[in-house]
């Protein structure tokens, strides 16, 4: 198995005079000579990387920023040399989702982030039909006061997701700085940094060739949840590329066909249900995937009874995120995390390997 706007932009002044933090979350700065433009842009340049421009804009609109003792109220407020700007950071608000004592398999944790091996059946974020019992609820309970706030709310920063029934490695940010840094890495898809994501999937049949690339854009199907390969230019259509490597073949025949295969998939992009849709698109859907591979269920009838019973009873898509590599947002160190196949997928793999 392989492990494989009409106003000008503010001109930053790195020598803002009298920058003071009195320990209460309030900072006082004096606009230096030569600085001009919008208040939000100037503050973002002075305070990076601690606060994003969007966060500063929200603080301005909430009345947390004053210029010469008067609340600014508008992000486009124009600054002038000699202005005294004060910004007060409120205490992070409690998150709306309540913390819940849900067991977590924690691979790593520090003051900036937490890495977990997500179990099957765990929804990542609260939403319609899943307001409780999610990973976010579990992390709010586990992390407590170590969450310094994402956008002013004491909550974990989700930068990528796994489907409810997909297992494996996930990283979650604990503060704004880590959230922005990690989000940028995932948006870059590893093109200029160390980010790597690799999955193991057990699929029906054997893909053509031991290696391959699936380059097929994805968009919504007929409902808001399912995705499909789309060739049109709809607003929801996104470029998607998956690279696969066939690691094991089960019950391989002389004509090079096989009952099933263990495949390693690496993402060049990260779209909803990408691996599941791409593998089904090339005729090799994931075992257990009712959404995209339901038409292949009868293939289990051709298997010996003991193996057939294990395959038909497998309750989810056979997909596991076994590898995640990324750059630590504070130290710059490249971190690598792996998680072995969960017990249910290993049991399925062993049954198929016995053919």
Residues 156-166: tens digit of each pLDDT? 888 999 999 99
In this predicted structure, what is the pLDDT of residue 20?
42
What is the average per-residue pLDDT within 27-47?
Answer: 83
Q: Which tens digits make up the pLDDT trace of 166-214?
A: 999 999 999 888 999 999 999 998 889 999 999 999 999 999 889 999 9
In this structure, what token pair is assigned to residue 310? 């294990």
- Strand-pair partners of 93: 153
Q: Which tens digits make up the pLDDT trace of 109-127?
A: 999 999 999 999 999 977 6
In this structure, what token pair is assigned to residue 128? 């319609």
Q: Which tens digits make up the pLDDT trace of 26-35?
A: 788 888 887 7
| Dist. CA 7–CA 105, nearest whole Å | 50
Q: Is 348 helix (H, G, I), strand (E, B) or coil?
A: helix
- Mention the CATH class of domain 17-88: alpha beta
- Class of residue 181 by CB neighbours under 10 A (exposed 0-12, middle 13-18, buried 19+): buried
- CATH number, domain 93-174: 3.30.2350.10
In this predicted structure, what is the pLDDT of residue 9?
39
Instruction: List C-alpha distances in Å: 206 to 175, 293, 316, 351.
Output: 43, 15, 20, 17
Contacts for 109 with CB less than 8 Å, ≥ 6 apart? 115
| Dist. CA 300–CA 323, nearest whole Å | 29
| Dist. CA 189–CA 203, nearest whole Å | 25
In this predicted structure, what is the pLDDT of residue 18?
45
Residue with tokens 């992070």: 92
Tell me the Ramachandran region of residue 271: left when phi exceeds 0, alpha when psi lies from -120 to 50, beta otherwise. Answer: beta
Residue with tokens 């202005």: 83
In this structure, what token pair is assigned to residue 144? 């407590």
Q: Which tens digits make up the pLDDT trace of 90-107?
A: 665 554 678 899 999 999
Q: Please tell us whether the domain made up of 196-353 is placed in CATH 3.30.2350.10.
A: yes
Q: Strand 218-220 vs strand 167-173: parallel, antiparallel, or unpaired?
A: unpaired
| Lowest-pLDDT range of 56-60, 101-105, 225-229 | 56-60
**Helical spans, DSSP H, in the chain:** 39-47, 53-61, 135-143, 176-188, 274-281, 305-313, 343-353
Taking the C-alpha atoms of 266, 270, 274 and 275 in order, what is their torsion angle to the nearest 10 degrees? 20
SS3 assignment for 254-309: CCCCCCEEEEEEEECCCCCCHHHHHHHHCCCCECCCCCCCHHHHHHHHHCCHHHHH
What is the average per-residue pLDDT within 316-333?
Answer: 97
In this predicted structure, what is the pLDDT of residue 3?
33
Contacts for 225 with CB less than 8 Å, ≥ 6 apart? none
**Helical spans, DSSP H, in 159-291:** 176-188, 274-281
Same fold, 93-174 and 196-353: yes
**Is the CB of residue 150 less than 8 Å from the CB of residue 96?**
no
Where do the structural domains in the chain lie, given as residue ranges?
Answer: 17-88, 93-174, 196-353
Active site residues: 163
Tell me how crowded residue 240 is: count the other CB atoms within 10 A of its CB.
25
Could you tell me the pLDDT band of residue 82, with boundaries at 50, 70 and 90? confident
What is the average per-residue pLDDT within 283-290?
Answer: 96
In this structure, what token pair is assigned to residue 237? 């259509």
Question: How many whole angstroms from its chain centre is CA 182?
Answer: 9
Q: Which residue has the higher pLDDT, 163 or 11?
A: 163
- Class of residue 171 by CB neighbours under 10 A (exposed 0-12, middle 13-18, buried 19+): buried
Q: Which residue has the higher pLDDT, 71 or 51?
A: 71
């Amino acid at each position: 198995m392989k492990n494989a706007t009409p106003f000008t932009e503010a001109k930053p002044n790195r020598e803002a005079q009298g920058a003071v933090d009195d320990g209460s979350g309030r900072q006082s700065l004096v606009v230096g000579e030569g600085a001009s433009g919008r208040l939000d842009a100037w503050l973002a340049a002075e305070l990076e990387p601690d606060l994003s421009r969007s966060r500063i804009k929200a603080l301005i609109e909430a009345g947390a920023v004053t210029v010469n003792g008067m609340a600014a109220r508008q992000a486009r407020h124009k600054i002038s040399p000699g202005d005294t700007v004060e910004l007060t950071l409120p205490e992070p608000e409690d998150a709306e989702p309540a913390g819940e004592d849900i067991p977590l398999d924690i691979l790593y944790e520090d003051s900036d982030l937490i890495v977990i091996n997500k179990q099957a059946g765990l929804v990542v974020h609260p939403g319609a039909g899943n307001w409780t019992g999610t990973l976010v609820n579990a992390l709010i309970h586990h992390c407590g006061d170590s969450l310094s706030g994402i956008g002013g709310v004491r909550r974990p920063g989700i930068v990528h997701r796994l489907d409810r029934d997909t297992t494996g490695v996930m990283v979650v940010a604990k503060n704004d700085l880590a959230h922005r840094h990690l989000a940028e890495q995932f948006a870059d898809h590893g093109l200029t940094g160390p980010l790597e994501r690799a999955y193991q999937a057990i699929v029906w049949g054997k893909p053509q060739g031991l290696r391959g690339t699936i380059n097929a854009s994805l968009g919504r199907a007929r409902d808001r949840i399912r995705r499909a390969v789309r060739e049109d230019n709809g607003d929801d259509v996104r470029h998607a590329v998956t690279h696969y490597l066939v690691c094991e073949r089960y019950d391989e025949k002389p004509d090079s066909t096989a009952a099933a295969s263990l495949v390693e998939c690496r993402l060049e992009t990260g779209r909803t249900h990408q691996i599941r849709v791409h593998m089904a698109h090339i005729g090799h859907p994931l075992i257990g995937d009712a959404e995209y591979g339901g038409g292949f269920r009868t293939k289990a009838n051709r298997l010996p009874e003991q193996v057939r019973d294990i395959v038909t009873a497998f309750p989810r898509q056979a997909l596991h995120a076994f590898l995640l590599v990324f750059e630590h947002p504070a130290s710059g160190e490249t971190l690598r995390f792996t998680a072995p196949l969960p017990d249910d997928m290993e049991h399925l793999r062993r049954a198929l390997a016995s053919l």
